[in-house]
Every structure is written in C-alpha cells, then in structure tokens.
Amino acid sequence: MINESKSVNFAGSLLAAARAETTKFFGLRTLVGLYASGLLVTIALGWLLLGASAKASGDNGFDTAMPAPLLVFATLQFGQLFFAAAAALHITNEYSSGSICTTLQSVPRRGTTLGAKAVLLAVLGFLAGVGLILVGTIPTALSAEQYGEFGFSDLISASLGAGIYLGLLSLMVLGLGLLCRNSAGAIVSAIALVVGLPQILQIIPIHWVQTLIQYLPTNAATLMATGASEPYGPEVALLVLIAWSVALLGAGWISLRLRDA
C-alpha cells in the first residue's frame, strides 16, 4: 500500500509539473516560433525543393522516384535544427535568467522536474514529427507528381519515424542543455551531433569509422523511417535512438543532481 501510494503521489506530482512546463513552453514566443518555423521550413522544402526536383530530374530521365512522405522526411535534415534549438532553449533559458532556482524551489525533487520537461518535449516532438509528414505529404506529392507516388505503409512508416525521431532528439538535446547550461553551447553541440559529426566522419577512410556513422542519430532515424534492412533494420534503429537519448539525458540527469543550480 505504501509503495502504491508513493507511485500515485509521484504520478500526480509529475503531471502537475508537466502542466507547469507546458505553460512555460507556450508562454515563450521564441520556443513556439521555433516549432512553427521548423514545421513551415520542412513542409516548404519538401514541396518546393525536393518534390519539384524529383519531377524535374524524372522528366529528364533520371531515376529520382521516391514516396512523397520520404521526400518530406528527407527535409528534416534542415527542419530538425529548429526543434533541437527549442528543446535546448527550454532548459538553458532558465539557467541564463536564473529562473531555474524558482523551478527547483517549486518542484524540489529534481527527478520530477527533469521528468516533466522530458515528457513535454518528447510529446511535442512526436506530435510535430507526425504532423509535418501528414501535412507535408500532400503538397509534396502534388509537386513530384508520378515520381512521388506512395502507399499507406510509406505514410505510416515516415510519420512514425519522424515523430519518434523528433521526440527522442528532443530528449538528447535536453540532456545536452543540462550539461552545457548555456544556449550557445547546447545548440552548437546539437548541431555537431546531427549535422557536423556525420559530415566530418565521412571523410575519414577507416572502416570502423564508416561503420560508426551508421549508428549516429540521423542515420538511424532514416533507417527507421524508410524501413530499410541494411545495415540493420527499423527495430535496431529504434534501439540505437533510444540508447542515444538515454545516454545523453542520463548524463544531463547526473549533472542536474550533482551540480548546484
């Protein structure tokens, strides 16, 4: 009974803290603007760039056909930076303004504080990922015409892949934000993880380095969304993304516990 009562109390505290985090998130125009920009940029690039490019290349005899949902997913290479920045600023803004002290006074249990932020960012990231694929597929398919034909399975795979990836990416960046405690450091670290590191490692002609690239977050997300079986399948890709989020968020949790606010 005691353990059950503690579980109920923790769940209630977590829910209350999550509501407070939601209010703080949507009360900051910068964070809302970053999410809106990420959605608009991703959808616009899928429609105006990749969709139109696929049609033009196809008309010229190149084999560029790709399901429209995957064309939209490909634009996440750019759009993900907006969502990552929002996740970073959600925690680093509190350190820069000093309001982290108020947050920890309101919710003394740091695990509850971190859990509330993690739940909010994971849910928002998942909904954003699913939404941008569902909304962006129509204009992209119209732009690509026959070169963007897709099936229902393509739409579901890309939608879930984008949602899961953005949700877990938000947790990774939350961890980086707790480690860096400043906006510039967290955002630069996030960009290095999802953009810089894959590009740098590609130029190193060592077999194990090239193998390592396949296990970076962006490549794992692509394998999960496309359903590819090589070099590993969607199930392993999901585990890779979970491992990255657990490692970085876990490191952030240790920093939050051991360091003063």
Of the candidates 241, 218, 188, 216, which has an alpha carbon nearest to the alpha carbon of residue 77? 218
Which has the higher per-residue pLDDT, 118 or 63?
Answer: 118
**Does residue 204 come out as left (phi exceeding 0), alpha (psi in the -120 to 50 range) or beta?**
beta
- What is the pTM assigned to this prediction? 0.90
Q: Is the pLDDT of residue 31 over 80?
A: yes
The residues spanned by each domain of the chain are 2-258
Mean pLDDT is lowest, of 140-154, 202-216, 242-256, for: 140-154
The sign of the torsion formed by the CA atoms of 140, 144, 146, 149 equals negative
The identity of residue 105, as a single letter, is Q
Res. 5: pLDDT tops 60: no
Three-class SS of 165-184: HHHHHHHHHHHHHHHHCCHH
Identity of the highest mean pLDDT range in 52-56, 107-111, 125-129, 154-158:
125-129
Is the predicted pLDDT of residue 253 greater than 90, yes or no? yes
- Average pLDDT of 61-85? 83
Find the angle CA(147)-CA(165)-CA(214) to the nearest 5 degrees: 80
DSSP state of 215: T
Which of 103-107, 235-239, 249-253 is predicted least confidently?
A: 103-107
